[in-house]
Amino acid sequence: MNILLIGPPGAGKGTQAAFITKKLNIPHISTGDMLRAAIAAGSPLGLKARSIMEQGALVSDEIVIALVKERLKQTDCNHGFLFDGFPRTIAQADALEKAQVLLDLVIEIAVPDEVIVKRLSGRRFHLASGRSYHVLYNPPRIEGCDDVTREPLIQREDDHEETIRKRLSVYQVQTEPLRHYYKKLAQAARLQYMTVDGLREINDIKNDIMLALTKIERSV
Ligand code: AMP
């Protein structure tokens, strides 16, 4: 099954992606993670992407499409995959159609902007381990320090409030049109489209998605 998770930054796509990929045993393709890995590796692509990402803008369609096309060549994608954060523009979605990479299911996680700002601006990370915290919802035992190593926590550059607001407006302008794009494909019975309320508990959202997946699997 080829699935797309769509929703604003901070909607909880990464969290639900982990559940879905485990259940279906398919790879999680997150262009944000791939770009961050390129930055960490200091590759030419990483150097190009870094300042764009720090500003909350979108990396060019050309770069991201090439990155995803390369990734899809790997054999672990043969039996399906989960896209998270891609496509993010109509041009990226069109590129998929052109390459005949067809989606079976689009899952939209809906969360209002103000909730997103609260969620993202409170996130903190321990760089070496990837452990994540939230100043309100999941605070570390000692403020600003990782629970295990006591090393300092960092805030992602693009999680600063001003940048979050920029990312939200980029989402509204560039990515929201994709909702209509895929709803139209759903009307034409080309794929299934479901919207989940991202304000509910993580487990409730997970259960809704798992139920939908089981139904779709049965109908295939
Ligand atoms: P994410 O982790 O998905 O929120 O992505 C972090 C940042 O990576 C975004 O704010 C963009 O700068 C960049 N990025 C990730 N995916 C894409 C994409 N599909 N198209 C363009 N830029 C992207």
pLDDT of residue 215: 87
Calculate the alpha carbon distances from 179 to 2, 25, 58, 61, 195 in Å: 17, 26, 18, 18, 10
Q: Is 13 exposed, middle or buried (0-12, 13-18, 19+ CB in 10 A)?
A: buried
153 Cβ partners below 8 Å, 6+ apart? 124, 125, 126, 133, 140, 144, 145, 146
88 included as an active-site residue? yes
Ligand 1 residue neighbourhood (C-beta within 6 Å): 9, 31-32, 35, 52-53, 56-59, 64, 85-86, 88, 92, 158, 167
Distance CA 53, CA 46 (A): 10
In angstroms, what is the C-alpha Rg of the chain?
A: 17
Q: Which two tokens stand for residue 3?
A: 């699935």
Following DSSP, what letter does each residue of 124-182 receive, concatenated?
Answer: EE-TTT--EEETTTB--SSTTB-TTT-PBPB--GGGSHHHHHHHHHHIIIIITHHHHHH
Residues 172-217 pLDDT 10s: 999 999 999 999 999 999 999 999 999 999 999 999 999 999 988 7
Distance CA 55, CA 160 (A): 10
Distance CA 34, CA 26 (A): 17
Atom of ligand 1 lying closest to residue 86 CA = 19
pLDDT of residue 217: 78
218 included as an active-site residue? no
Region 156-176: what's the mean pLDDT?
94
pLDDT band at residue 220 using 50, 70 and 90 as cut-offs = low
pTM: 0.89
C-beta separation of 171 from 9 below 8 A:
yes
Q: Is 139 exposed, middle or buried (0-12, 13-18, 19+ CB in 10 A)?
A: middle
96 Cβ partners below 8 Å, 6+ apart? 87, 102, 103
Q: Which helix (H) or strand (E) holds 186?
A: helix 177-187
Query: Among 31, 54, 165, 169, which residue has the most ligand 1 atoms within 8 Å of its CB, making it the best to mutate?
Result: 31
C-beta separation of 165 from 136 below 8 A:
no
165 included as an active-site residue? no
Q: Which two tokens stand for residue 38?
A: 């390129």
Q: Does residue 23 carry a pLDDT above 70? A: yes
Q: Does residue 3 carry a pLDDT above 70? A: yes
